[in-house]
Structure 1
């Protein structure tokens, strides 16, 4: 049976970029009887029929056989052969198969767990970390994405695809999952679990007709990875609310014990969370819809030395203050109103006199700069300065040493301005939105190193993080993504709202500092949002930083 033109377009041009010149010629030997075929680089074939999986040479002669009633063949190069998957139609499980071309052998590997539905389609996807993923799809559109790494079989996420999907394939280079919907056409979905869910219709009409042989070309070489990938070392327990809940982190350093640090994180549906370096939740302060949070230690307020956290409260457009004791225990310490209509982001500034100031912004672009004061009974804010950017901001960070405020205008880029309350608010562009920084511009933090200072900015639109010098001319030093840490069972990060970085010694992998990142899509498996911990040493190594 010869595959139709549309089948060859679907499986060759759209999926691999390769050619199917061989498929137009009569298929040799046992290959002619196959229901599904995959081309191999030595000229041979991997084929499926009712008797099993067959490894064939170029003449169609059998070299090896695996007895299984199989469907849904897909494969990727691996070593001197390939890793293939087929569905065991009797067990309703997907079975990985190692294809050794040199030895002429097929080896069945540990199967994937049977999903809670009958499998109508299955296919492989290889991501930028070179991790293999499996998609399995049910007749009613239920679907699951699993990863396969050695003997590991881990559920990444559940997703919904069109009903009556009979076939799927992944375009690794485009990071797309392609599925055909009967009588509708060919859909492209985002194959990256850490990406924003989206789909588009590539071709209308029937794509694969019943009874046609499906012929897979040898997969094209993967597109080289253009961004460094670092792995998280730990993650926090998920927040207690689903949906878009976790937002912004801050770091408190324990001067007496580097490993006794605390990570503060906002849940904008609930309040403030406090975690230890293992990611365990230690406190939940249910104080309302907090958005951004920042920490300064050893500041003087009302004649007292304090460690303080400050957060924006969206229920009443106020600023909330929290005291942090020597053991890292956080307690509410007051609040003051701002008069803003839609309070949003904030960051703290410790001026030269050792006091505390806060920059608060509104969705309309307004910034208010307050001096935090106390009369011994209550804390309050004294307004020092107002200024405005042209559109919605959120993330900001202050370089206390150099008295510079860096702020993000979500659709335009990163600006800088003097942090001094008595200085003119003259804004200068640091880096605009573009190929290096993809909107939205969200969280940002400053790393003060021994040899250089760096500004880290969340490039939300491409799920990456831009690192640039924190001094003019603000040279870009590179960007990176946070990928899977399979050994620890931690997924990567995506659609990040807030982040924080510190150069302090927190012990262990964080001896040279750490980066805390809000993760917009918790995977491996699906769950409420959380925060990931990244060792700065891993970032510095990946980007070759000083």
Structure 2
């Protein structure tokens, strides 16, 4: 999510094993160039601006995914969420192909659909055969929604195949849905040993992550069942023996949004926005490990209810050096030799950090970059929420792959309304900047 003036403060205790895992993270020297010295990578294209208007609803760009058309790579798609504005599909020129509205409110006083994150599942077995699916988290209704991808279907490539009886993800009743502590971040995973498809879903204003098995329903529809949940810490033991929680509005815990699964070994990377990046098994077994922390980690803060902001104290120096809160979009770059990167949006300083994806190498930091303007009419990316990378040929436009990043401040924007969109970046230039 874009940073709000409301910071977050968690108030509950955590298990000893998680606190110990966080404390064990060693301090690292800062080998990253500062400020404008970072490599600058310009976008090649951008989608039309999204904002609140009568035609498009409360549209706000958030999270993208890249679907590769194996038969015709230059006809691949970028599928992206627009929150209350629903779901968008774009071609590789960043032109709109299809717009799907979010579901309406189901009753008086209830929230409408709000699509937060999106990811893809390849060749999921349905009752009508295999299909590629776009999966979205509907924060408004605390559900997942599913869209079959058929590139040349008349009327648009996306068809809603959500089982009408699909359950809520976290909420026990409508009252809990109305509180909007609902399905938030999302990553998909296919277990190669069983062929089963899963979604990992985080919970808004909570530290929970749920593992959901994706299941076929009647008539080609899709539903899911919860397998297990895992709660990350909300309080952390610092090296000086004190406890620390990220500052926030009372009752809000440090949530996770950006997530990605490495299919090579079933490793889930999860960005706890005000804390750092966790690594764990995608089946949510075992002990998560905090592989890097935000700079603000350990900094005390006091929440002011009148300003809805935090007053921060002195920095004790326990934080990281590569990420500035919030940690947002996480995505994976895979290479043919097995190497590659985990990319993370460092939203607080408008940069992207890259980590080695090899678990045995302890996800060593490999460098950072910015997405900067390509000219007077094509700006860069600021306060990036979601990101998606695909390291595969995508026709003549992106022969070395594509990186799509959300821009939280599209320019030139509208002074009276938030202006957001998505930037399309040549992944080859990103990889060159990290060499």
- Counterparts in 2 of 1:99-118, with a 5 A limit? none
Shift in Å at residue 356 of structure 1? 1.1
Equivalents in 1 of 2:365, 2:403: separation in Å? 18
Q: Does 1:400 align with 2:263?
A: yes
- Counterparts in 2 of 1:135-146, with a 5 A limit? none
Q: 1:316 to 1:367 in 2, by over 3 A?
A: same
Q: Does 1:386 align with 2:224?
A: no
Shift in Å at residue 453 of structure 1? 1.7
Equivalents in 1 of 2:434, 2:380: separation in Å? 18
Question: 3-state SS of the aligned residue for 2:188?
Answer: strand
Shift in Å at residue 304 of structure 1? 2.5
- Which residue number in structure 2 is paired with residue 371 of structure 1? 213
- Which residue number in structure 2 is paired with residue 263 of structure 1? 78
Equivalents in 2 of 1:313, 1:524: separation in Å? 30
Q: Is the 8 A contact 1:259 1:277 kept in 2?
A: yes
Q: Does 1:280 align with 2:95?
A: yes
Q: Is the 8 A contact 1:447 1:453 kept in 2?
A: yes
Q: CA offsets per residue over residues 399-420 of structure 1, 9 Å max, x none?
A: 1121111101001111011113
Q: Does 1:228 align with 2:39?
A: yes
Q: What stretches of structure 1 of length at least 5 have no aligned partner?
A: 1-194, 198-222
- Counterparts in 2 of 1:177-216, with a 5 A limit? none
Shift in Å at residue 425 of structure 1? 3.8
- Which residue number in structure 2 is paired with residue 347 of structure 1? 187
Shift in Å at residue 316 of structure 1? 1.3
- Which residue number in structure 2 is paired with residue 119 of structure 1? none
Question: 3-state SS of the aligned residue for 2:134?
Answer: strand
Question: 3-state SS of the aligned residue for 1:225?
Answer: helix
Question: 3-state SS of the aligned residue for 2:433?
Answer: helix
Q: Does 1:481 align with 2:370?
A: yes
Q: Is the 8 A contact 1:445 1:500 kept in 2?
A: yes
Question: 3-state SS of the aligned residue for 1:510?
Answer: coil
- Which residue number in structure 1 is paired with residue 327 of structure 2? 441
Question: 3-state SS of the aligned residue for 1:247?
Answer: coil
Q: Is the 8 A contact 2:116 2:136 kept in 1?
A: yes
Equivalents in 2 of 1:362, 1:196: separation in Å? 17
- Which residue number in structure 2 is paired with residue 17 of structure 1? none
- Which residue number in structure 2 is paired with residue 41 of structure 1? none
Q: Does 1:307 align with 2:196?
A: no
- Which residue number in structure 1 is paired with residue 288 of structure 2? 427
Equivalents in 1 of 2:161, 2:255: separation in Å? 29
Question: 3-state SS of the aligned residue for 1:542?
Answer: helix
- Which residue number in structure 2 is paired with residue 516 of structure 1? 404
- Which residue number in structure 1 is paired with residue 106 of structure 2? none
Question: 3-state SS of the aligned residue for 2:37?
Answer: coil
Equivalents in 2 of 1:480, 1:510: separation in Å? 19
Equivalents in 2 of 1:224, 1:523: separation in Å? 21
- Counterparts in 2 of 1:92-103, with a 5 A limit? none
Equivalents in 2 of 1:393, 1:384: separation in Å? 19
Shift in Å at residue 303 of structure 1? 7.3
Equivalents in 2 of 1:280, 1:241: separation in Å? 19
- Which residue number in structure 2 is paired with residue 36 of structure 1? none
Question: 3-state SS of the aligned residue for 1:490?
Answer: coil
Q: Does 1:416 align with 2:266?
A: no
Q: CA offsets per residue over residues 299-351 of structure 1, 9 Å max, x none?
A: 32447211011111122111111111143701111152213332211110011
Q: Is the 8 A contact 1:249 1:266 kept in 2?
A: yes
Q: 1:304 to 1:244 in 2, by over 3 A?
A: closer
- Which residue number in structure 2 is paired with residue 250 of structure 1? 65
Shift in Å at residue 375 of structure 1? 3.1
- What is the Cα-based RMSD across aligned positions, in Å? 2.3
Q: What stretches of structure 2 of length at least 5 have no aligned partner?
A: 6-33, 103-112, 172-180, 234-253, 296-320
Q: Which has the higher contact order (CA 8 A, sep 6+)?
A: 2
1:334 aligns with one of 143, 148, 162: 162
Q: CA offsets per residue over residues 495-523 of structure 1, 9 Å max, x none?
A: 01101001121122411111000000001
1:468 aligns with one of 355, 362, 377: 355
Shift in Å at residue 244 of structure 1? 7.7
- Which residue number in structure 2 is paired with residue 362 of structure 1? 203
Q: 1:509 to 1:325 in 2, by over 3 A?
A: closer
Q: Is the 8 A contact 2:387 2:404 kept in 1?
A: yes
Q: CA offsets per residue over residues 270-296 of structure 1, 9 Å max, x none?
A: 200111111111111002310000012
Q: 1:518 to 1:494 in 2, by over 3 A?
A: same
Q: Is the 8 A contact 1:413 1:433 kept in 2?
A: yes
Larger radius of gyration: 1
- Which residue number in structure 1 is paired with residue 248 of structure 2? none
Equivalents in 2 of 1:493, 1:196: separation in Å? 17
Q: CA offsets per residue over residues 441-490 of structure 1, 9 Å max, x none?
A: 01110011123121010000100000111113111110011111117x31
Shift in Å at residue 269 of structure 1? 2.1
TM-score after normalising by structure 2: 0.70
